[in-house]
Amino acid sequence: MGATTFVCEASGRTAEDAFRNAVRDAVAAHGNAGYTGSIAEKRRFVKIALPEGEDPVVFAYMLLDGRDYRVDNKWGPAGCVELPTEGIERRFLFFGWASC
């Protein structure tokens, strides 16, 4: 089996809430039989600070393409950066490698 990258946004009061929401949505869209190539394959995440002025999606792909050790494993954690938002609901970008 192979691996592919994914990038998705999710919202929640915390990063943990947003992660659960993202996984739930991916399971609904792709099923839970495994090898979906989505965040549905992930069980945990690691928060990574977004450098000031950096585009979040460009930053995520830079880490994926550069094989950053924090997200360079289809069985390891997803990466997570917080997106600028206002209000109670916060937005997060999750990214990583997933089995497919």
pLDDT above 90 (res 33):
no
> What torsion do the CA atoms of 53, 96, 26, 22 make, to the nearest 10 degrees?
-40
Element (H, E) at 24: helix 15-30
Domain segments of the chain as ranges: 3-99
Return d(Cα 19, Cα 11) in angstroms, integer.
Answer: 8
Mean pLDDT of 71-83: 97
Q: With CA atoms as reference, report the closest residue to 80 among 2, 4, 6.
A: 6
Q: With CA atoms as reference, report the closest residue to 43 among 2, 4, 98.
A: 98
Question: pLDDT tens across 35-68, in order?
Answer: 999 999 999 999 999 999 999 999 999 999 999 9
Give me the residues paired with residue 62 across strands. none
